[in-house]
Amino acid sequence: MASVSDWKVPPSVQPKPGDYAYDLEAALSAVVGVRAVVPPDAFTADTLGTERAGNGVLIRADGLVLTIGYLITEAETIWLTLIDGRAVPGTVLAYDQATGFGLIQALARLDLPALPLGSSSAASIGERVVVAGAGGRAKSVAARIVAKQEFAGYWEYVVDEAIFTSPSHPNWGGTALIGPNGDLLGIGSLQLQEGREQGPPGDINMIVPIDLLPPIFDDLLTLGRPNQPPRPWLGLYTTAIENRIVVVGLAKEGPAQKADLRTGDVLLSVAGGEVRDLAQFYRRIWSLGPAGVEIPMSIYRDGKTIETRLKTGDRNRFLKAPKLH
């Protein structure tokens, strides 16, 4: 992820106020910078780092900020940078592994307009949008929605209908996807490469759709997580190669490592059902019960098919809980 510095989006792709029917400057002022410090002994410190920087969006006038969860997972210190240059402390309220959303509460008065939530399901491919970073128009991209489709991430993550935008925002984490009505359609998560029939691949952003937030919003505020049994977690990093699921990494001391799964193993089946793509694989695991359920699996290793059983875990139990200030 790009660092937060004095960079600017090229003027040619910056949004221009006259191109939008809403108050662009007011909408962009709701986007804040997010800096998080994570203790070195945190579970995610090795993979995500101990100092993380990105963006967040003020969604309520009382200082509630929505961001992408990986920025603030296990954070012990949060600072928010506002459009006027002020820096205010914040505290982590929640992060949800299933959607990827995170919530921060500012610990000082912001005096900024909140961005209303829109409807991501109503957004159309080809629609003109703004992918907004903290810092106004110079840190924002005038983009279009180029796709809405399923996305599966190697860290045991699936979004049924992720939103993809182009051109890509260079500091995508926690950016605000602002729709044609000046409302929030999603939160930036990743930068990916899109294959093209002519020319080299181009970068696009993957956006988590805002429609995933309302069903869990009250639970996140009151409990810090959705009020439902946690999904079973394997602690595997996987990729699909030629319609096969291949293990490319293992979470330290996670369930898969304890079950002696290894990098290079090919996952053939789960509970007797063949698996050939990431989304199918994860959904198959999640359908078998909550965290703690034992999963029978067939794997291929060194020319042999091996039958094994893996007792899943609750990912959140491996993480440091948010520190409430």
**How far apart (Å, rounded) are the C-alpha atoms in residues 89 and 87?**
7
Phi/psi of residue 11, nearest 5 degrees: -55, -30
Could you tell me the pTM of the whole model? 0.94
pLDDT in tens, 141-177: 999 999 999 999 999 999 999 999 999 999 999 999 9
Helix (H, G, I), strand (E, B) or coil at 69: helix
Q: Which DSSP category does 195 fall into?
A: P
Mean pLDDT, residues 84-109: 96
Q: Which structural domains are found in the chain, ordered by start?
A: 11-114 (2.40.10.10), 120-215 (2.40.10.10), 236-318 (2.30.42.10)
CB atoms within 10 A of CB 307: 10
Mean pLDDT, residues 232-259: 96
Q: Is the pLDDT of residue 84 over 50?
A: yes
Residues 6 or more apart whose Cβ sits within 8 Å of residue 146: 125, 126, 164, 165, 166, 194, 204
Work out the percent of the chain whose per-residue pLDDT is above 70: 95
pLDDT at 238: 97
Mean pLDDT, residues 55-60: 98
Helix (H, G, I), strand (E, B) or coil at 153: strand
pLDDT at 3: 39
Residues 6 or more apart whose Cβ sits within 8 Å of residue 249: 154, 236, 237, 263
pLDDT at 2: 38
pLDDT in tens, 190-207: 999 875 555 455 899 999
**How far apart (Å, rounded) are the C-alpha atoms in residues 30 and 132?**
9
Mean pLDDT, residues 42-58: 96
Give the model's confidence band at 4: pLDDT under 50 very low, under 70 low, under 90 confident, else very high: very low
| Strand partners of residue 131 | 141, 177
If you average pLDDT over every residue of the chain, what do you get? Answer: 94
Do the Cβ atoms of 7 and 170 come closer than 8 Å? yes
Mean pLDDT, residues 51-80: 97
Mean pLDDT, residues 253-263: 96
